[in-house]
Structure 1
Amino acid sequence: MKAEIIAVGTELLLGQILNTNAQYLSRELAAMGIDVYFQTVVGDNMGRLQHAIELASERADILLLTGGIGPTQDDLTKDALAAVLGRELHIDAAAMEQVEEFFVSRGRDMTENNRRQALVIEGCTPLPNETGLAVGVAIAQDGKFYIVLPGPPKEMKPMFDRQAKPWLQQHALTDEMPIYSRMLKFAGIGESLLEDKLLDLIQAQSDPTIAPYAKEGEVSVRLSTKAASEAEAEKKLEAMEAKIQERLPGHIYANTDMPIEQKIVEIMSERGLTLSAAESCTGGLLMESITAIPGSSAMFLGGFVCYSNEMKEKLLRVPRSLLEGEQAPGAVSREVAEALADQVRTITGSDFGLSVTGVAGPGDSEGKPAGLVYVGLAERGKDTEVFELRLGGNRESVRVRSVKTLLYRLWLRLISK
């Protein structure tokens, strides 16, 4: 089946907010075996919104509309869809009760326009909003399926996942076999190289399907298949995963959707290993990524953000001769990355010590270019390794990629044991 996503809101057209809803919905629909051929963005205008719905109805089986269902007069999505379908709007009793309870519980007076958030279309299935007030809508007419969702992602995502997705599976996908998916997570490889290595598989794909995804410092591949049973699906997914693993050894760290730091926390916790870190240009991003994982307290002892030379010397005992002077390699150097990793491991008594020092940008520092980063990996009883990185992108990209690269190097060390 084909779907079209219509994101409603003048703020989207003005570039005031990003259309992350379309990204999320496209990914989720693909996993369900539903093709998205068009994404439309339309402002808060009744005529243009009706036209967008009519046009989408001509070329798609499923229409998903996000945004424009709040309390104000420019929230017109339900009004426009009702007009196109020739149906009336009315207040849903359960949704209205939720709206009223919200204001009572906070001791606030409810203005009349808040009743609009409880509006539904005649003959629809209301979609309860578990994280907000505006009720969603699901309705089928003339072989087409319409879903109306809130604009705020924190409301839209749970409504789609818990309410709209089951409705679609029950009403629109009744003749379809279930879709089974597996997410392969990669580290230490970029999107372009990964696609090049898998290009023939991607071009020849039929079942399972192969869909690469990329975000800053991370690449994933979703494998999806239709099958009559989970056992049949697992057999097909495992065969494709084995082909990909054969082509990219040392890069797949998980076959479930998790960041590499979660995999590291799992491995180190299981083995009773501990970790510490010393960060300069990343300013604590490495430690934040580790400690954001539940259970990291079992393996992460602590660390230092030593941004200035003074703190590198005072807190981590990095010799001044490495940091300053005509013959000094400087703070951004192999020597300092090695000293930081060694010292943080020794001071904390951890099994592994990580370090990052570099120039995040946007300009040069100490006569060294933006994007030049050194990451260190120290392990009890072994020689410390330092890796030189030359990274592109803006300041945040350099920081994220530095962290992900260092975590990849640690993962490689852990799986080699």
Structure 2
Amino acid sequence: MDAEIISVGTEIVLGQIVNANAAYLADKLTRLDLPATYQTTVDDDPQRLVKVIKGAMKRAKLIFVCGGLGPTADDVTMPTVAKALGVHLHTDQAHWKWVKDTFKQRQIKMEPENIRQAQYPAGGEPLANPVGLALGCWFEAAGRVIVVLPGPPAEFKAMVDHSLLPKLVTHFATGKQIVSRTLNFLGRPEAQLMEEIAAATKDDPQVVITSYVQPTAIQVRLTVRDLPTAEANQLIDRAQAEILAIEGPYFFGTGDDLTLAAVVVQLLKDRSWHVSGAESLTGGMFQSTICSVPGASNVFNGGFVTYAASAKEKLLGIPAALIEQNGVVSSATAAAMAEGSSRQMNAEVGIGFTGVAGPDDLEGQPAGTVWIGVAVKGQATVTKQLHLAPYIGRQAIRTLSVQYGLQMIYEALKK
């Protein structure tokens, strides 16, 4: 069965934002064996949107119209969908009351246009928005299903996961069984990783293996179709074991939404340990990343941003002579930063980041040169030098430095 995703927004057409919603939805549909064989992007012009919707209805049985559900003048999706379907807009009075109560509670002035967030095409079924104000809609007509979804990614993903997917599973049960598992890796070039995985799993043709590069990891998905769940999982277990026999040092867990920070926080919680950090080139990014994980307060009390050499000396107690002798960007300084942060915060794990984020050189070392030190209770302090590509840019160098630091902590905690 053909499905089509229509993404609405002038800012998408102009390239001002990346259309991550379409990729997210397409991935979810593929797992349900409902591939979006058509994907269309259109601006906020109602006439063009009507044409696109009517065109989609000629070639697809399942149509998604995404974006443009707010209260502003360019949020034209819901009335335009109603026009294309030949129906009027219906106001969900219970949701409208909730919207008004929400504005009152937040002491924000509400405009008359906010009623749009409680409207959907008459004859349709509202889709709940777990994290926003605007309703979505599920509409069935002439053997087709038209689904309207919001544009903000947080609202979009929440509605897809909690309101849409259960209905799709019930309505479009295909009888086919799809079992998949996502493995997460860091520290291996994608091409090399996938070449080695292909060699390791050459005797598992029923397992389809694909990769997806994230900013902080490489995700490898193992998929088996049309087999009983138990048998499919056995095949995936065998393929995973073959892969980890080779790629184990770069693996940090399974799951689509897994992050290395979450894994590290959990390992620290399991030990009732704390972590602290001293950061130079990363400027607090490591500590922010740890704090982004729910429950981080159980393992993190504080840390340091010591950008200047003088700050390293005053806040961490690093001797000036050590920095003068070895330089700021050095193994010795990274180790001293890790040990200093651990000592000052009485934490079982300390980490230090120092290096050159760029674009300029520092101490004769090029951008992308990074030293990371990790001090763990009961273990000798270790350091690692990274040679990241300068062309990836300052922010990517900082982000990858944090991920490699987390990987070092992960490896130490697994010992």
TM-score bracket for the superposition, by shorter chain length: 0.7 to 0.9
Do structure 1's residue 123 and structure 2's residue 123 form an aligned pair?
yes
In 2, the alpha carbon distance for the partners of 1:336 and 1:127 equals: 55
| Change in CA separation of 1:190 and 1:45 when aligned onto 2, cut-off 3 Å | same
Q: Which residue of 1 aligns with 2:352?
A: 355
Paired residue secondary structure (2:65): strand
Do structure 1's residue 385 and structure 2's residue 399 form an aligned pair?
no
Q: 1:345 aligns with which of 327, 330, 342?
A: 342
In 1, the alpha carbon distance for the partners of 2:283 and 2:109 equals: 46
In 1, the alpha carbon distance for the partners of 2:14 and 2:48 equals: 16
Q: Which residue identity does 1:20 align to in structure 2? A: A
- Larger displacement relative to structure 2 (261-270 or 221-230): 221-230
Q: Structure 1 residue 15: deviation in Å?
A: 3.4
Q: Structure 1 residue 402: deviation in Å?
A: 0.6
In 2, the alpha carbon distance for the partners of 1:295 and 1:153 equals: 24
Do structure 1's residue 54 and structure 2's residue 57 form an aligned pair?
no
CA contact (8 A) 1:225 1:237 kept: yes
Q: Structure 1 residue 397: deviation in Å?
A: 0.6
| Change in CA separation of 1:331 and 1:107 when aligned onto 2, cut-off 3 Å | closer
Aligned length: 412
| Change in CA separation of 1:56 and 1:194 when aligned onto 2, cut-off 3 Å | farther
Q: Which residue identity does 1:182 align to in structure 2? A: R
| Change in CA separation of 1:255 and 1:109 when aligned onto 2, cut-off 3 Å | closer
- Larger displacement relative to structure 2 (176-185 or 304-313): 176-185
| Change in CA separation of 1:203 and 1:40 when aligned onto 2, cut-off 3 Å | farther
Q: Structure 1 residue 321: deviation in Å?
A: 2.6
In 2, the alpha carbon distance for the partners of 1:158 and 1:126 equals: 15
Q: Structure 1 residue 207: deviation in Å?
A: 4.7
| Change in CA separation of 1:329 and 1:358 when aligned onto 2, cut-off 3 Å | same
Paired residue secondary structure (1:129): coil
Q: Which residue of 2 aligns with 1:30?
A: 30
Q: Structure 1 residue 120: deviation in Å?
A: 2.2
In 2, the alpha carbon distance for the partners of 1:343 and 1:409 equals: 17
1:196-345 correspondence runs (5 A): 196-199=195-198, 207-226=206-225, 230-256=229-255, 257-300=257-300, 302-324=302-324, 328-345=325-342
Q: Structure 1 residue 307: deviation in Å?
A: 1.0
Q: Structure 1 residue 201: deviation in Å?
A: 8.2
Q: Which residue of 2 aligns with 1:406?
A: 405
In 2, the alpha carbon distance for the partners of 1:134 and 1:78 equals: 10
TM-score, structure 2 as length reference: 0.87
Q: Structure 1 residue 78: deviation in Å?
A: 2.8
Do structure 1's residue 71 and structure 2's residue 76 form an aligned pair?
no
Q: Structure 1 residue 228: deviation in Å?
A: 7.2
Q: Which residue of 2 aligns with 1:364?
A: 361
Q: Structure 1 residue 346: deviation in Å?
A: 4.0
Q: Structure 1 residue 7: deviation in Å?
A: 1.3
CA contact (8 A) 2:209 2:223 kept: yes
Q: Structure 1 residue 297: deviation in Å?
A: 4.2
Q: Which residue identity does 2:40 align to in structure 1? A: T
RMSD: 2.9
CA contact (8 A) 2:201 2:242 kept: no
CA contact (8 A) 2:358 2:394 kept: yes
Q: Which residue identity does 1:159 align to in structure 2? A: M
| Change in CA separation of 1:108 and 1:363 when aligned onto 2, cut-off 3 Å | closer
CA contact (8 A) 1:359 1:365 kept: yes
| Change in CA separation of 1:398 and 1:7 when aligned onto 2, cut-off 3 Å | same
Q: Structure 1 residue 125: deviation in Å?
A: 1.6
Paired residue secondary structure (2:321): helix
| Change in CA separation of 1:130 and 1:290 when aligned onto 2, cut-off 3 Å | closer
Q: Which residue of 2 aligns with 1:190?
A: 189
Q: Structure 1 residue 320: deviation in Å?
A: 2.0
Gaps of 5+ in 2: none
CA contact (8 A) 2:204 2:239 kept: no
Q: Structure 1 residue 49: deviation in Å?
A: 0.9
- Larger displacement relative to structure 2 (354-363 or 124-133): 124-133
